[in-house]
A and B are shown apart, each in its own frame.
Chain A
Amino acid sequence: MLPLIVVAPMLGAAVAALLPPGRLPWLWATAVSWFMLWAAVGLAAQVMDLGVLSYWMGGWAPPIGIEYRLDPANALLALLIALLAAVVLPFAGPSLAAEVPERKSPWLYAAMLLFLAGQMGISVTGDAFNVFVFLEISSLATYTLIGLGRNRRALTASFSYLIMGTVGATFFLIGVGLLYALTGTLNMADLAARLPDVAATRTVHTAYAFIVVGVCLKLALFPLHLWLPNAYTYAPSAVTALMAATATKVAIYVLIRFIYTVFGPSFAFGEMPTVQLLVPLAIVGLLSTSVVAIGQANIKRMLAYSSVAQIGYMVLGIGMATATGLTAALLHVFNHALMKGALFLALGCIAYRFGTTQIDTFRGLGRRMPWTMAAFVAGGLSLIGVPLTVGFISKWYLVSAAIELGWWPIVAVIIVGSLLAVIYIWRVVEVAYLQPAEDTTRCEAPLALLVPTWLLVGLNFWFGIDTRVTVGIAERAATLLFSTAAGGAP
């Protein structure tokens, strides 16, 4: 089951590329994504029962062979990727049919499945070099997908993402190479066991620096986020939704995995200035990109900047170096995917009708597209962190983690960040509901687009009210990441 969740989309991509152009590749990709969801749910349930699942590639025992390893932390991530893929792909059919020429559809869905295979691969692998390979598989697919955007700026956005993304991945590779030079192993658990003996060397410090900077480029931590706004703005709507919901989250997971499992918190926070580096950058990024978001005329771009700000919250949680902070970060990874997924899908509905997401097109949309705008407002409330939504849950945990540490200024920063979110969401609400439209005919998006959008909105409230599943997994994952670090090898 465990390798199948990576192999299925990878082989599925090859099949999708051979299918005739039209609806068939889309139906096939959707079927594969539903299979992935079914597999991910099964695996997550098994992990909650058994603790850790391990699969040895080709029967070779780790640390010599490559190991796939699933524990609560990456089970949550695998579940997230599969869930978002299973919701966004049905949406992608009609939405991408309007934005990308039909003859490209087999390759389009092949690239989408490859993207999912890469993301899934990163989340389940227990091998450091494997992370690099899967990172590049999913990144290459992403560059292609962004380049399919209608505006020609999509091409330059994709190119600059390619340059920065490859530099980030290569930095990561340098770090892995230095670790291998010292320990002679690439297996994460084995690395964690052998690193403490050599932790005082300059090579390990350098390796840590390369890995953290490389991954931070991938996860778009301020000020390494410059590729993100253009890439999100000009990519096709469904691609943006999928990328915003999963790609940066997977990079966050890699950061967590390397800080907590491979290097261990005592090295990362004791010997290296991780807190002093991550926390200020997270705070500056969170506040500055929220302010920049307020001034954007293109709403898709506004949400892209808001994504960078939300990444600030997650990195803040990681930088707190406590179990509660890590729980908050993991929760926000999951919850932010749900809210941004819903928001970008709502924008996709608007782009489907008008072909643009400029603020001018929103005039009077509250009456013209009531369901789409209601979904946007619900997603926006979740982004702000209103009670009963998932946004409230993760901010609540983040604030309590900050209070636990006595970091009162951080609590203020989180609240100011939420207030800035109120401002940029309100801007859209004001234009959509209070300004009159020139043309008042109703033009609601088709049901095929509304159902996936509302499904995600529904999940925003579901996991906002019933937090047992998400908080349960996140708490177990956080305690596991801390306990394994203290007790040597996981």
Chain B
Amino acid sequence: MSFLAHYNYHLAIILAMIGLYTMISRTNLVKKVAGLNIFQVSVFILFISLGVLDGGTVPILKEGYSAYSNPLPHVLILTAIVVGVATTAVALALVVRIHEAYGTVEEDQVQAKDEEP
């Protein structure tokens, strides 16, 4: 019962593990960036879940409503999303540069090319 009651937190943990696993196991740099994104999204879900109130509505004052969701975690996550977008942009730009310099985006092939004299 308590597992289902907190299903959003469990989902966040599962997503985080998928993201981390992708980053560690994949050699393709673009897939690593995708894994990083999944990992970050899991944290966004964690934060947004924190702000939810059972039966609460959007935090705009209106007659007839007394329970509101907490808007602060949502605002924090807006900032974190912007940070995530910027990080992804820099990461993809680096991948493009790596492709220009090495002709591949596979980590093992990049390493092999570095070890050649």
List A residues at the B interface (Cβ < 8 Å): 129, 132-133, 136, 140, 143-144, 147, 152-153, 155-156, 158-159, 162-163, 166-167, 170, 173-174, 177, 180-181
Contact of A136 among B20, B29, B47, B87 (CB under 8 A): B87
- Residue B40, interface by CB 8 Å: yes
Give chain A residues whose Cβ lies under 8 Å from the Cβ of B91.
Answer: 159, 162-163
Contact A167-B36, Cβ < 8 Å, known A162-B87, A174-B46: yes
B102 nearest CB neighbor, chain A only? A152
The 5 tightest CB contacts between A and B, nearest first, are: A152-B101, A136-B83, A181-B50, A155-B98, A159-B94
In the bound complex, how far is the Cα of B33 from the Cα of A166, in angstroms? 11
Are the C-beta atoms of A177 and B87 separated by less than 8 Å? no
Are the C-beta atoms of B90 and A143 separated by less than 8 Å? yes
B33 nearest CB neighbor, chain A only? A163
CB distance from A139 to the nearest CB of B (A): 8
Are the C-beta atoms of A162 and B43 separated by less than 8 Å? no
Q: Which one of A147, A162, A177 has the highest number of Cβ atoms from chain B below 10 Å of its Cβ?
A: A177
In the bound complex, how far is the Cα of B77 from the Cα of A132, in angstroms? 12
- Residue B17, interface by CB 8 Å: no
DSSP majority for the B interface? helix
Q: Which one of B23, B36, B90 has the highest number of Cβ atoms from chain A below 10 Å of its Cβ?
A: B90
DSSP majority for the A interface? helix
In the bound complex, how far is the Cα of B94 from the Cα of A32, in angstroms? 28
- Residue B14, interface by CB 8 Å: no
List B residues at the A interface (Cβ < 8 Å): 20, 23, 29, 32, 36, 39-40, 43, 46-47, 50, 72-73, 76, 79-80, 83, 86-87, 90-91, 94-95, 97-98, 101-102, 110, 114
Are the C-beta atoms of B46 and A177 separated by less than 8 Å? yes
Contact A140-B87, Cβ < 8 Å, known A163-B23, A163-B32: yes
Give chain A residues whose Cβ lies under 8 Å from the Cβ of B72.
Answer: 180
| Extra 16 A-B pairs, beta carbons < 8 Å, given A140-B86, A143-B94, A162-B90 | A129-B76, A155-B98, A156-B98, A156-B110, A156-B114, A162-B94, A163-B32, A166-B87, A167-B39, A170-B39, A170-B40, A177-B43, A177-B46, A177-B73, A180-B72, A180-B73
* 27 A-B pairs with C-beta separation under 8 A: A129-B76, A129-B79, A132-B80, A136-B83, A136-B87, A152-B102, A153-B114, A155-B94, A155-B98, A155-B101, A156-B110, A159-B95, A162-B90, A163-B36, A166-B36, A166-B40, A166-B87, A167-B39, A170-B39, A173-B43, A173-B80, A174-B43, A177-B43, A177-B46, A177-B50, A180-B72, A181-B50
In the bound complex, how far is the Cα of B83 from the Cα of A133, in angstroms? 7
In the bound complex, how far is the Cα of B83 from the Cα of A136, in angstroms? 7
Contact A147-B87, Cβ < 8 Å, known A166-B40, A180-B50: no
CB distance from A41 to the nearest CB of B (A): 32
Give chain B residues whose Cβ lies under 8 Å from the Cβ of A158.
Answer: 94
In the bound complex, how far is the Cα of B87 from the Cα of A153, in angstroms? 20
CB distance from B54 to the nearest CB of A (A): 15
Give chain B residues whose Cβ lies under 8 Å from the Cβ of A129.
Answer: 76, 79
In the bound complex, how far is the Cα of B94 from the Cα of A156, in angstroms? 8
Are the C-beta atoms of B39 and A147 separated by less than 8 Å? no
In the bound complex, how far is the Cα of B74 from the Cα of A348, in angstroms? 45
CB distance from A211 to the nearest CB of B (A): 13
CB distance from A167 to the nearest CB of B (A): 7
Give chain B residues whose Cβ lies under 8 Å from the Cβ of A140.
Answer: 86-87, 90
Give chain B residues whose Cβ lies under 8 Å from the Cβ of A174.
Answer: 43, 46
Give chain B residues whose Cβ lies under 8 Å from the Cβ of A166.
Answer: 36, 40, 87
Are the C-beta atoms of B47 and A177 separated by less than 8 Å? yes
B40 nearest CB neighbor, chain A only? A170
Give chain A residues whose Cβ lies under 8 Å from the Cβ of B86.
Answer: 136, 140
In the bound complex, how far is the Cα of B114 from the Cα of A173, in angstroms? 35
In the bound complex, how far is the Cα of B100 from the Cα of A211, in angstroms? 37
Contact of A147 among B36, B50, B80, B94 (CB under 8 A): B94
CB distance from A125 to the nearest CB of B (A): 14
Give chain A residues whose Cβ lies under 8 Å from the Cβ of B46.
Answer: 174, 177
CB distance from B112 to the nearest CB of A (A): 12
Give chain B residues whose Cβ lies under 8 Å from the Cβ of A163.
Answer: 23, 32, 36, 91
CB distance from A135 to the nearest CB of B (A): 9
In the bound complex, how far is the Cα of B46 from the Cα of A234, in angstroms? 37
In the bound complex, how far is the Cα of B19 from the Cα of A257, in angstroms? 29
In the bound complex, how far is the Cα of B78 from the Cα of A133, in angstroms? 12
Contact of A170 among B43, B50, B73, B110 (CB under 8 A): B43
Give chain B residues whose Cβ lies under 8 Å from the Cβ of A167.
Answer: 20, 23, 36, 39
In the bound complex, how far is the Cα of B101 from the Cα of A174, in angstroms? 36
CB distance from A190 to the nearest CB of B (A): 13
Give chain A residues whose Cβ lies under 8 Å from the Cβ of B20.
Answer: 167
B91 nearest CB neighbor, chain A only? A162
In the bound complex, how far is the Cα of B65 from the Cα of A483, in angstroms? 46
Are the C-beta atoms of A159 and B50 separated by less than 8 Å? no
Give chain B residues whose Cβ lies under 8 Å from the Cβ of A136.
Answer: 83, 86-87
Give chain A residues whose Cβ lies under 8 Å from the Cβ of B50.
Answer: 177, 180-181
Give chain A residues whose Cβ lies under 8 Å from the Cβ of B110.
Answer: 156
